[in-house]
Structures are given as structure tokens and as C-alpha cells.
Structure 1
Amino acid sequence: MFRKGALLACTGLCAYALPAFAEQPQPESAPMPPAIPAAQDRPFPGTLKLNVDATDTQHHVMSVHETIPVPREAAAAGDMILLYPKWVPGAHAPEGPIDQFGGLVVKSGGKTLTWKRDTVDVYAFHIPVKSGQTTLDVDFTLLSPITSSEGRVVMTPKMVNVQWDEVSLYPAGYYSRQIPVTASVHLPHGWQIGTALRPSGKSIGDTTTFGTESYNTLVDSPIFAGEYFKKVLLTPPGAVPVTLNMVADKPADLNYTEAQMQAHRDLVKQAVLTFGSQHYKHYDFLMALTDELGGIGLEHHQSSEDSVSEDYYTDWAHSFPQRDLLAHEYTHSWNGKYRRPADLYGPSFNSPQRGSLLWVYEGQTQYWGNVLAARSGLVSKAQGFDALALIAASYDNQAGRIWRPVADTTNDPIIAQRAPLSWRDWQRSEDYYVEGQLVWLDVDTTIRKLSNDKLSLDVFAKRFFGTNDGSFIVSPYRFEDVVATLNSVVPYDWATFLRTRIEQIQPRAPLDGLKNGGYRLVYNDKPNAFVEQAEKNRHRLGFTFSLGFTINKKNNSLMAVHWGGPAFNAGLAPHDVIVAVNGDAYTPEALTDAVKNAKGANAAPIQLLVRSGDHFRTVSIPYHDGLRYPHLERIDGTPDRLSAIYTPRQQ
């Protein structure tokens, strides 16, 4: 019971007690250990030798043996620090799979050394060394995921994806580009290999040894290998070679037509025409046609890792929603690898990255990926337009844009690391990709409008990415560099233009690019072909722009619920399962008919029987606008700039 007198008494007593309390000894925090030595731009004294055995596909284990020279200064200090890569290139986040690292044994001169993990940085290992010890023999295993619930699967009975950052340690205290490495890989018998690395000589058995490269180049040059393999040169004689290396679950998956392959050849042609340079000695697409290997689209300077469905070629009529992948990753050779945001270019793979310009790195790459896919014929113009309509509608209806600007989403790779989000629509995610695409469409059509259609973003691309043809040296860029190049194309207040769209909260998506391109976003009850096929490929049923949710067709559960939409306002949430519609058992057709029949102000609400865990309830949704699908509609009397953007370049 609260007593006023007691409070007054305490007030007086506490006044006398406080000085004595303040004089009592206070605890002190434990001191931090010495920091890991910062990387220095100096040559590492020696060459690492790295051997990876990737033959144990049944257990999904790669065994690693590494020979690492001991610098004199480390021997004198008595401590050599080895690092496991933490900041994975292209992931923009500290995603190095240290949780899959195991079995570490370190020896020198045949004697086992007792290593110790750093108490602050778990990616760092302290190795006790002494004078006279010149080499460390390091063994460990990569315990790669067996199922997708554990992480991305990189080994199957028919193929393997070796990413060198996952199977190597490197010495601290040096820029990683200053550390030379000679690597080799041992693969199952008879398997063929695709990589941007080149062998140092003839392979011995099933072991391939590559030429000595910098650690940066090695990490940037992964491997796709497998039993069923094809290699196709996409460039004509005399051109800088670009090769499509394909590995598949089954031999039949590699049966492509000449027309399909010509579209991939045209992708290379259109990209080179657009960017006006090539910053690679050779380029290797590493394509996995698979439903078993984990999905990936990851850029590298002279290659890319591209995982598509096994029926990419054999069901060509329906695989178009994924056919911008190679165009996107290829564009990254220019944007992201050759030209790279300055705050993403670090001295080592354990130096933190900052992604303030990811809306250029990924956003403009997303733009060019879609444009080049259309220009090359990998997708049709109509398919490209349908995809653009979906993007515009999705971001124009996104709830979270009222509180979070695009600029802040560049932190999302670090914040969420692509973990599942129940309310992605409200939280927002890596929106610098696709909303960035809309911003760059706005830039392109604005340049065209201001120049009376004499200039375009293609001119920017050639000036910004086309410098120093043949150079492999990274050219960092800053916001000011982007603005300066845009102004060299067409003088305008580009700084304000970009900052307004990227850094400020915008309740609506940047759709001026559509308007300036000669189109408007509209909704009707006719399915969008791109949306319809993408949903079929992913086993989903979408009522995104009507009821405000997407259904998993495998178990009838809600995969996404639009924050503030009709379903949300009725109390539905992700993972709820639809059991019945208006008193009848749920089927996709039943729900579609219910939405149609509820159209009109006087119609009855839609009644859903829903299961949440072990609980059932009936939900009433008073939605009366019918089915709604996004489309682009031509604005009469305006220049059709969007069609011009998607038209193949001739020179």
C-alpha cells in the first residue's frame, strides 16, 4: 500500500545516504585486448599455398590444407594472426560463414601449435610462433549446409560451388591485394570446371592448380564444377573472350537452341556497346541450371555466379522472369567491380564496408540489367514493360515509404542480412535495388527530355564506366563524381534531383520516369503476364493489389500481408492459413471468384475461415474494388521514350 508519510521519510533519509553511496568503490569493466593489427599497404613476404578438396559431396564437406609463410616480425612478436573473411564481396554485409568453419589444426615443423580465437573478433585466430618457424601448415573443414534450412547449399551429388573466401585463412596486417596465393582444387572424378582463374599447367588427375594470383583476385574468382557441363564462347574471333560455363542437374537441362544462345551472345554485344569498354582479360558466366544447388546471383570482376532453374532452356516460354539475372551480374563488371563506391572499397575482407551509394552500385545495375535483357532479346519488350509495371505498383503502394527513405535501406544488408521479415512492406528492405531502378529510369528519361532526345543515360554509362579500357584497377567513385558526370551530359541540378529521391521520405514512388517515358501506371482486372508467370514459378498466388496478400500455393498460408491493406485491417497476418471462402473449402478459384463477386459498394464482405496455429476464426474483409493488376498504359501524344530505351543499340 502506498503511504505518503513513508515517501516523505524516505526522501529525507536518502538525502543523507547519497553521499556515502557515492563514495563506495564502483566496479570497473575488464580492459579490452589489443586490437587486431590494421591492414597496411605493403607486400606480404611469401606466397600462400591453398589446396581445397571438394570431393566429399555426400557429407557436403570441403577439406582445406593451407601453407602460410611466417613473417619475421610475427615470429619476433610471438603471435601470428590469421583471419577468416568476414565482409563478403557483393553481400555488403559481415556474412562470412564462420559458423560453418571447423576442425582447425595448425602445425609448424610437424609440431602442433595451440591456436586461440580472439576474444573480441571471432573471425581472428592467434597462432603462437617463435623465431625459426618459417611456415604454418593449416588444416580445417568447411561444413557446408546439407539442406537449405541451414543455409545456402553449395555441394550436391552433381555439382559444387567453391567460393575461396569460405575455404581460406589469410594473414592480418596486410592489404589483401598484397598477398599472393597459389590455389588448387580437387574435384570428383571426371567433373569439369568453370572459373575466371586459369590453370598454371596441365591438371594432374582430378586436381587443378591455378596460376598465382593476389588474394583479392582469388576470392573474386569462384568455381562452378559438375558432372554435366557445357562451355560456349559468346564472342566472335578476335574479341575479348566471354564464355558461358553451364553446369546442370541433368544432361537434358543443357539442351539449348541456337536462338536461345544467340540472345546470350547479344547480351554481351549490347553491354559492350553501352559501356564502351571491357575491364577484364576474359569473362566467365558461371551458370548452374539446378533445383538443388542454392540460388545465387553474385558479381565478380571477370565472372559471375548465376543460378537459374533447371528448366531455364527447356521451358523457355515460361522462364523469362529470371532472364535478367545474367544481364544484372554482367553489368556489375563495370558498375561495382571496376567503378566501385569509395566506402565499399576496403583494404581487406575483415574491414567494415559502408553502402551509402548502393542505390548506384545496385540500383543502376538493376536498371541496366532489365534494359540489357530486353535489348538482347532475353526478354521481350512487352515482358520488360510488365515487369516495370509490377515494380512501379509495388513501390508506389509500399507502406514503409512514409517513414523510411531509400538511403537508409542501404544499411539493410548489415541490419537484416536477408533474414525473413514478417512485415517487409512496413520495414522496407534492400529497396535501393528496385526503387533505385525507378530513380535511374527517371534520370534517363529526364536526360532525354532535356536534350530533345539527343542524349540519354547511355552517354553517362560510357563516360562513367567506359574509362581506361582494359584496366582492371578499381576506380572508386563518390556522390560528387556521379553528379559531375551527369552534368557533363546535361547540365541540371542533379544533386538535388538525386538527394530528393534517395535521401528524403517520399510517400509515393518515383514514377516520373514512366510519365517522361510516355506511359502511366494503371490497374485493371486483366492479369499481368509477368506477374502471373513469376507467381507460377514460385508457387504463389497474388492478391497484392486487391486484398493485400500473397498465398503460398503449397500450403495455402499467407506469405506476405500488405501493411494497412484490407487483409491487414481485417486482422490477417503472415503464416495464417486460409481454410474456407464464404463457407466453402478454399481453392484459388474460389477466392478469385469471391473477389470478383464482392465488387461494388452494395456487395457483401468476403468471409474467410482462417487458421492461426491451432486456432480458427472467421475474418470479414469489406473489400469491393475487384481484382487489380498493374499495367503500363501509353500516354497519347507523348514521345515513346520507354520503347526507345528498350530498343537494341546498333553502334
Structure 2
Amino acid sequence: MYCGTAYEPPWNDAMKTLRAFAPLLAAALLATTAQPAFSAVPNSKPVAVPVVISVPDAQDVPYPGTIGLNIDASDTDRNVYRITQTFPVEEGASSLILQLPAWLPGNHASRGPINLLGDLHFTANGRELSWTRDPVEVHAFHIDLPEGTTAVTARFVHTSPIQSNEGRITMTREMLNLQWEKMSLYPAGHYVRQIQVKPTVKFPEGWEVFTALDGQSESGNVVTWDRVDYETLVDSPIFAGKYARSWDMGHDIKLDVVADEPELLEIAPENLDTFRKLADEALALFGSKHFDHYNWLLALTDRMGGIGLEHQRSSENQYEPRNFVDWDTMAHDRNVISHELVHSWNGKYRRPAKLWTPDYRQPMQDNLLWMYEGQTQFWGWILAGRSGLQPKDIVLGALANSAGYYSEQPGRSWRSVEDTTHDPIINARRPLPFSSLSRSEDYYSEGMLVWLEADQIIREGTDGKKGLDDFAKAFFGMNDSDWGQLTYEFDDIVSTLNAIHPYDWAGFLDMKMRQPGQPAPVTGIEKAGYRLVWKDEPNPYEAGRIRGGNYVNLAYSLGMSLTSDGTVTSTIWDGPSFNAGIVDGAKIVAVNGTQFSKDAIMDAVSMAETNDDPIELLVKRGDRYLTIPIHYHEGLRYPWLEPAAEGEQPLDRLLEARTGK
């Protein structure tokens, strides 16, 4: 602070001069801003060009004639499928629109691999035809037809992935999985059930061929089937292989298996019998069949890509190669078979109205996948337990994994189960940086836990006389021998539940499925006489997954999972590792000064429970090495289910076999 005469800074004279000229400067600026900045020409402003839809909507009318479809699937060196199709056309037609299926059943999204279609040519009367791809619907091709055209021949190749980073591998030297919708075109403007196709496929010499298609006949390595509508064709994929066996499971159900090596097909009779019991239990549950025959298509492989995909008369399934021969240690890996079988009733016969579409062009609306997939997930595990396909401790472990995860998943605070039904479209199963916050397809397993609660509400309200079994028989088992599809809406689910046991089912399902921020979904487990507890070792289901995947699960302790070499594959949002700055892709190099190993990091977590020292990690992130302390002292944690009291509990009774007593 200065005393006496007021202090004037040395720039004060300059400021006085500027103030004197201020009016003149303002006038000059006003004159300048009144003129255009660059020129008198106004800025360009585009107007949107209307989107022209030039592919017609499907109509429920027959396509004239039968389409010939010939596929050469014998090139196992290059994994290429070569396709020839012949399309009859109406007299006088001047154009034809053909399209590759885009919105694929069971994928719940537009996944048609148009990127794998190559070397496309159309001809008529020996003459090459001109074509253009639709600029809006890029799965569709517009073909100009010369006068007098009666048929168009399409030739192209499906360049099947050779490496997994190119997509799912569907052909190896030992087996293939032919999915018709990925390597055939169909005409626009018709319900696919109104399009008739005559399919023929050439396979490698000596391979056995499995499919639900009817009328199979063979001439050498060329196989043909009866004429079939395109909807049924797409719903009837093929497994074929050099090493193959088939077993009759009863109820017109077959287990058709291909394997990487012949010895992998050896299965003990008592283990094979669990598949027969699964068929028995499924038919006892639903009380009907919506198929005339059914084929479990199963690949024992780590060479062809994994799959679990439902169809009304078959399903595509993959087990790890040694599942049959290492039966006990691979028990965690068998649920896909029971899950996909349930889909014959739930998802294929009974289907959400907005998930059924007349062709593979109309977008699907996934809102009710918590019914389609969530209740299938429930019955898949229950039937696996009832049949013995998977031991009871494995089933309990799977339920515990889901209960544990959703008890601590931060994403449940902002995102509902129903909102996750849009994930097949939003995310298409791509890796997420923080999936615990974003959520993914949680309608499967959280949906399963909600349906367990629904089962227990019914059992409590009826003194054990009824349960979700009764709902399944009433909702999915209706119209025995109906091979079609019967759609439903939310209100149909509610009304059937109320017919089994009156309750506020609309409010229950709205709260549990449509509202975020709900309490942990463990009420069904508790009502069923069990409770979620935490132990310092993985439950049997998770232990099997860890053995098979060779990873380190520290999700419920340090809040991360790692590969066997220490690479972080996921971190829990707001967990200890996340808060310390560890993210996906980082690599743990050392633990408390010792080179990383699975045992080293698990021992460090266990020892930290008895002291106050941080767990010190040396972490490589990009080209940087960071020493990161993590203050965590609660030991190893893994979810388990255990009975809340002595004696048999409701969940025990739910898992008891219903047949063969």
C-alpha cells in the first residue's frame, strides 16, 4: 500500500490518450462491422436431399417359381464357399432386386456379413447383366433385365474368415458350419415363407452331413434336399465333418456331433444318457413339441469358431474339444445345449411380436428379450440341473456368479434390464472399456434371476402347488404339433402369469425389467432358501471357467480380471484398480517386487488382509512403467450360494428331476 499522493502507473498517459480517441474508434468499428466480413455473397446452406427407399416392403404373396441354390463347400484350403443361384422372373419384368439377409434371426441385430460377399455376377441368357448396389440399403442389389428374360443366374463367393480377427471361422480341414443366410440372396418384396428354394451342396469327400432339412439325398459328395421355403431353409443350418457321430435321444431328437479328432467323440454311456434325460425333462416341462424332429448340432472344436444359436428344429452348439472325454472337469462348458433347446419353444415358436419379421430386411425391436433370452437362461440352467447334464454345484455356481456380479455392478444404477436388450444393435458384442458401468446384454442373466423370483412368488402364493413350470406349459406348450410361430406382447405375459397365480405382475415386471436403480436381484435366491455369500476361492462353475480360460479373476477384490500373463482385460468402475488408475490393456509386470504370476498376485491379495501395507504393482501402460499402490485389505472374494437353513430348500426342489423317478 502506498501513502500520500495517489500512485499513477507509467501507462496512465497512454490510457488518457486512448480515451480521447474512443469516440472516433467506435465510429470506425461500427462502419467496419456494418459490411460483410469477406464479400457480399451469403454463406452456402445446403438443404437435405430426401432419402429415397427403393427396396419394396415384403408382401405375403408367393414368389413365382423355385429358386435353385447350389453351394460348393469343398474348398477347405481357402475356406471359400462358391455359390450359384437361379431366380425365375415373371414375363415382362424389367428389373429384379436381390438382397443378402441383413437382420438375422437369433442375432437380434443387423449382422448379415455383406462384407464377405465377393466376385458377384448376374447373367441372363448367357449375357452379363448390369447391377447397382442400393445406396441406402447396401445389402440389396438392383439388376436391369433385358427384354425376354425368364431367369437370372447369380454367381458369387462367400469369403469365409480364415483368422478369428476376420470374423467367426466356419470352415476347417475337419468340419464346417454352413449358414444359408450368409451365403444366399433372396428376392425383395415377398415374405420369406413365400419364397421356394431347392438347395444343393457339394462337400469334401467322405464327410458326414447333419441338418434338420427334409428329403436329404446324396450322390457322391453332392447332397440335395426337398424344395423348402426360404424361412425354413435359413432356420436349418448344416454341420458337416470328417469325424462325426449321431445318436438318437428319443422324442424325435438327435445329437449330431462333429469333432477335430475321432477320439474326441468317445463318450461314456452314462454321460450320453444325460442328453436323453435333458430331452425327457424338456418335454415334461413344456408338455408339447413345436417341431416334427429336432437336431442338436454340436461341434467339439477349438478350430472352428464358437457358437450357440437357436432354431425351431435344430440348434448350433460348440463345446471345447475334450468335453466328452474329460467329462467331469468340463462340466461348466455344457449349458449351451440346454439353453438352445429351450429356444425351440421360447424364441422360435413363441416370439415377441416385434422380433418376428416377414423378411430379413425389416428391423427387429428387441425390448422383450428379457423374456426371450432371460427366461430361456433360467430354464437352460434348471433343465441342465434336472437332467444331470450339469451337476447341481455347477448350476448353483452359475447362479452365484450372476447374483454376485449384479449385486456390485455400478451400471444398474442408471440403466434398466430392458434397456440392455438394445445392446445387440448398439454394441454388437464389441469389447467395452468399462462394461460394469456401460452394462451389456444383462437381460440374459439378470433376467434369469428375476424369473427365479417370479417362480418363488408363485410357489409362495400357491403353497407350493404351482410354479414357473406351470407358466411354461401354459405359455410355450400350447398348440402341440404347431410348427409355426405364435407371437406375443407384454400383456400376454402378464395375463398368463395372472392365470397361474393372481399378482401385480405388470408392476413386478415393470419394476424389475424396466426401471433402473433397483436393489440387488437376490430376492429370488433368498425366497428359494439360499443366500449369497463370499469365499476366498472360486465356486465350482467359476473354477471351471478359469481353468478353461486360463485367466485370473480378481473382479470382487482388486476389481479387475487379467490374462495369465498379467494383461488387464477388465476393471470394475470405481473399484480399487480403477481408482488407482489401472485400465484395460495395462500389463501387471511385478507384484510387491516379484515378477507377476497368478499365484503371486493372489498371494498378495490374501496377505494384505492381515496388514495395512498397500499391494504394490509395477504396471506397464504403453511405453511407461508405473509403480501403483492399491490399498485393499479384504482378501480374495468369490460369490457362492449356500442354504440359509438346514434341510431341503425350495431351490433344491426346483432343481429336482421331474422324470424317471
Shared fold, TM over 0.5: yes
Inter-partner Cα distance in structure 2 for 1:102 and 1:526: 51
Q: 1:184 aligns with which of 173, 197, 200?
A: 200
Q: SS of the residue aligned with 1:343?
A: coil
Inter-partner Cα distance in structure 2 for 1:346 and 1:453: 39
Q: SS of the residue aligned with 2:299?
A: strand
Inter-partner Cα distance in structure 2 for 1:8 and 1:536: 81
Inter-partner Cα distance in structure 1 for 2:30 and 2:286: 75
Does 1:619 find its partner at 2:628? yes
- Corresponding residue number in structure 2 for 1:389: 400
**Cα displacement (A) at 1:27:** 3.0
Q: 2:96 aligns with which of 49, 63, 80?
A: 80
The C-alpha deviation readout for 1:136-183, integer Å capped at 9, x for no partner, is: 011000001001011000000000110000110010011111101110
- Corresponding residue number in structure 2 for 1:577: 587
Residue 218 of structure 1 aligns with an amino acid whose one-letter code is L
Inter-partner Cα distance in structure 1 for 2:357 and 2:181: 15
Alpha-carbon distance change, 638 to 407 in structure 1, aligned in 2, over 3 angstroms? farther
**Cα displacement (A) at 1:395:** 1.3
**Structure 1: gaps spanning 5 or more residues:** none
Q: Is the 8 A contact 1:597 1:603 kept in 2?
A: no
Inter-partner Cα distance in structure 2 for 1:576 and 1:52: 45
Does 1:44 find its partner at 2:54? no
Q: SS of the residue aligned with 1:194?
A: strand
Alpha-carbon distance change, 34 to 478 in structure 1, aligned in 2, over 3 angstroms? closer
The C-alpha deviation readout for 1:327-385, integer Å capped at 9, x for no partner, is: 00000000000000000001101110010100000000000000000000011112211
Q: Is the 8 A contact 1:155 1:293 kept in 2?
A: yes
**Cα displacement (A) at 1:509:** 2.6
Q: SS of the residue aligned with 1:318?
A: coil
Q: Larger deviation: 499-508 or 190-199? A: 499-508
Q: Larger deviation: 507-516 or 423-432? A: 507-516
**Cα displacement (A) at 1:21:** 8.1
Q: Larger deviation: 395-404 or 349-358? A: 395-404
The C-alpha deviation readout for 1:507-530, integer Å capped at 9, x for no partner, is: 533111011101111112243121
**5 Å matches for 1:415-434?**
415-434=426-445
Q: Is the 8 A contact 1:401 1:508 kept in 2?
A: no
**5 Å matches for 1:15-34?**
26-34=45-53
Inter-partner Cα distance in structure 1 for 2:499 and 2:60: 34
Does 1:227 find its partner at 2:242? yes
TM-score when scaled to structure 2? 0.93
**Cα displacement (A) at 1:587:** 1.5
Q: 1:609 aligns with which of 618, 621, 632?
A: 618
- Corresponding residue number in structure 1 for 2:573: 563
Alpha-carbon distance change, 547 to 35 in structure 1, aligned in 2, over 3 angstroms? same
- Corresponding residue number in structure 1 for 2:176: 160
Residue 494 of structure 1 aligns with an amino acid whose one-letter code is W
Does 1:509 find its partner at 2:520? yes
Q: SS of the residue aligned with 1:455?
A: coil
Residue 235 of structure 2 aligns with an amino acid whose one-letter code is D
Q: 1:648 aligns with which of 632, 650, 657?
A: 657
Does 1:211 find its partner at 2:226? yes
**Cα displacement (A) at 1:188:** 0.2
The C-alpha deviation readout for 1:229-281, integer Å capped at 9, x for no partner, is: 0000000xxxx410000000000000001011100000000000001100001
Does 1:254 find its partner at 2:265? yes
- Corresponding residue number in structure 2 for 1:547: 558
Does 1:465 find its partner at 2:476? yes
Inter-partner Cα distance in structure 1 for 2:238 and 2:43: 62
Residue 272 of structure 1 aligns with an amino acid whose one-letter code is L
Q: SS of the residue aligned with 1:356?
A: coil
Does 1:324 find its partner at 2:335? yes
Inter-partner Cα distance in structure 1 for 2:127 and 2:264: 50
**Cα displacement (A) at 1:50:** 0.2
C-alpha RMSD over aligned residues: 2.0
- Corresponding residue number in structure 1 for 2:81: 62
Inter-partner Cα distance in structure 2 for 1:430 and 1:8: 65
Does 1:521 find its partner at 2:532? yes
Inter-partner Cα distance in structure 2 for 1:51 and 1:191: 18
Residue 618 of structure 1 aligns with an amino acid whose one-letter code is T
Q: 1:105 aligns with which of 111, 115, 121?
A: 121
Does 1:483 find its partner at 2:502? no
**Cα displacement (A) at 1:132:** 1.5
**Cα displacement (A) at 1:9:** 7.8
Residue 143 of structure 2 aligns with an amino acid whose one-letter code is I
Alpha-carbon distance change, 258 to 12 in structure 1, aligned in 2, over 3 angstroms? farther
Q: Is the 8 A contact 2:177 2:237 kept in 1?
A: yes
Q: SS of the residue aligned with 1:609?
A: strand
Inter-partner Cα distance in structure 1 for 2:27 and 2:635: 66
Inter-partner Cα distance in structure 2 for 1:44 and 1:224: 29
Q: Is the 8 A contact 2:373 2:443 kept in 1?
A: yes
Q: Which is higher, the Rg of structure 1 or of structure 2?
A: 2
**Cα displacement (A) at 1:506:** 2.4
**Cα displacement (A) at 1:560:** 1.1
Share of identical aligned residues, percent? 43
- Corresponding residue number in structure 2 for 1:285: 296
**Cα displacement (A) at 1:204:** 1.1
Q: SS of the residue aligned with 1:391?
A: helix
Inter-partner Cα distance in structure 2 for 1:347 and 1:92: 14
Residue 231 of structure 1 aligns with an amino acid whose one-letter code is S
Q: 1:633 aligns with which of 636, 642, 648?
A: 642
Inter-partner Cα distance in structure 2 for 1:318 and 1:153: 26
Q: Larger deviation: 214-223 or 374-383? A: 374-383
**Cα displacement (A) at 1:203:** 1.1
Q: SS of the residue aligned with 2:166?
A: coil
Alpha-carbon distance change, 216 to 11 in structure 1, aligned in 2, over 3 angstroms? farther
Inter-partner Cα distance in structure 1 for 2:585 and 2:112: 30
Q: SS of the residue aligned with 2:317?
A: strand
**Cα displacement (A) at 1:30:** 3.7
**Cα displacement (A) at 1:12:** 8.3
Q: SS of the residue aligned with 2:284?
A: helix
Q: 1:138 aligns with which of 154, 158, 172?
A: 154
Q: Is the 8 A contact 2:53 2:136 kept in 1?
A: no
Inter-partner Cα distance in structure 1 for 2:178 and 2:499: 43
Alpha-carbon distance change, 8 to 314 in structure 1, aligned in 2, over 3 angstroms? farther
Residue 609 of structure 1 aligns with an amino acid whose one-letter code is L
Inter-partner Cα distance in structure 1 for 2:408 and 2:608: 22
Q: 2:109 aligns with which of 93, 102, 127?
A: 93
Q: Is the 8 A contact 1:286 1:303 kept in 2?
A: yes
Stretches (4+) displaced over 6 A: 3-18, 20-25
Q: 1:595 aligns with which of 605, 617, 634?
A: 605
Inter-partner Cα distance in structure 1 for 2:224 and 2:136: 36
Alpha-carbon distance change, 598 to 34 in structure 1, aligned in 2, over 3 angstroms? closer
Aligned length: 638
Q: SS of the residue aligned with 2:609?
A: coil
**Cα displacement (A) at 1:639:** 7.0
Does 1:495 find its partner at 2:511? no
Inter-partner Cα distance in structure 2 for 1:274 and 1:507: 31
**Cα displacement (A) at 1:34:** 4.3
Q: Is the 8 A contact 1:517 1:639 kept in 2?
A: no
Alpha-carbon distance change, 207 to 511 in structure 1, aligned in 2, over 3 angstroms? same
Q: SS of the residue aligned with 1:234?
A: strand
- Corresponding residue number in structure 1 for 2:185: 169
Inter-partner Cα distance in structure 2 for 1:281 and 1:135: 34
Residue 213 of structure 1 aligns with an amino acid whose one-letter code is V
Q: Is the 8 A contact 1:297 1:304 kept in 2?
A: yes
